[in-house]
Amino acid sequence: MTIVLNTTIRPEVLHGRGAVSNAVGRFEKQTRVLLDDGWDDGWRADDNTPAPLRTEVIHDATRTIIARNKSPDISFDQSINPYRGCEHGCIYCFARPSHAYLGMSPGVDFESRLFAKPNAASLLAKELSAPGYVPKVIAMGTNTDPYQPLEKKMRITRSILEVLRDFRHPVAIVTKSPLILRDADILSDMAAMGLAKAALSITTLDRKLARAMEPRAGTPQRRLQAIQGLTDAGVPAGVMFAPAIPALNDHEMEAVLSAAAGYGARSAGYVLLRLPLEIKDLFREWLDVNVPDRAKHVMTLVRQMRGGKDYDANWNTRMTGTGPYAQVMARRFHMAVKRLGLNRPTAPLAVHKFKRPSRLGDQLSLL
């Protein structure tokens, strides 16, 4: 499906969004820019508070739901993404460039023109029932957030979890949303069988910074409370300090890990800021608007950790970077993890319990 959109959006309507522009994706032949030629002065005088940009939801007619991964530096082999695009609007989201494949902008379009997969549960049941299916942990939240605001209404993620529970299939979830606690009943049942774990992504404890970087995600305090809620429900919970951004939030690493441990987190991880494709320009724009005094310093340090470039996609270093600053960051993380007693050895999620549930019409097993 390809949809070409008008990419000129007035700054006045972007309140509550992460991106500050809506430039076309890398595959488009034409570029549109917003130019104020003075002809709209009357419009501005008549309406000083234009309507905010509304979120549009499009049904994604996908035929498969499990995505396979072959990247050697990622800990999962398969994943499920109930949605394309994410209303959380995190400016640094590495999934933004995927909207370019749809003829849309990785900027504002990514967070305001969303694709939902309402038939995800039925597709999943069909794929898990295939005779040749080999069970491996399914990851959720690896691309866009399965608990973004749209999930409260559509409940696609919950329907997926219901299928996974019925099949006794292991799942690992990463989210920024306290909405995950809505599904604590399912996750608790699965965790009791060794089939579920979750992590909350917390980039900062500074509510003002979080609102600017992740405008529609849960507040840092509510994410900490979600960790506690999952832990109380018996679900192994962790924290992801991701992304770590030099000269912006990296100084909070120890504070975030310590706070999460205090709320019951058992594990922790971190990922260095990644700026592939269109994200580098979107992130620079965001820095210039929100932290102009630090913009150049942030990008200078980013390049120091990326071999002099905005981004280096090398599989061995793209998550942690290279150079002295990156080495210090890694050392700080490992020292904090050791001090807080995080990442202690635990049993892996149980793949061997996978079982296709009986369906109406199946023959009974002979005793």
Residue 31: the pLDDT is 55
Would you state the pLDDT for residue 51? Answer: 62
Q: Average pLDDT of the chain?
A: 88
Give 205-232 pLDDT, tens digit per residue: 999 999 999 999 999 999 999 999 999 9
Q: What is the mean pLDDT of residues 250-274?
A: 98
Q: What is the pLDDT of residue 25?
A: 67
d(CA 187, CA 146): 14
* Least-confidence region, from 61-75, 154-168, 205-219: 61-75
Q: Which residue has the higher pLDDT, 296 or 4?
A: 296
Tens of pLDDT along 99-150? 988 889 999 999 999 999 999 999 999 999 999 999 999 999 988 999 999 9
pLDDT, one tens digit per residue, over 24-36 is: 666 665 555 544 4
Going by the DSSP 8-state scheme, the letter that residue 97 receives in this structure is G
Is the model's pLDDT at 311 over the cut of 60? yes
Question: How much is the pLDDT for 47?
Answer: 52
Second CATH level (architecture) for the domain 11-34+55-340: Alpha-Beta Barrel (3.20)
For residue 154, how many other CB atoms are within 10 A of its CB? 19
What pLDDT does residue 35 have?
43
Q: Where are the domains of the chain?
A: 11-34+55-340
Average of pLDDT values for 39-66?
71
The Cα–Cα gap between 56 and 314 comes to 35
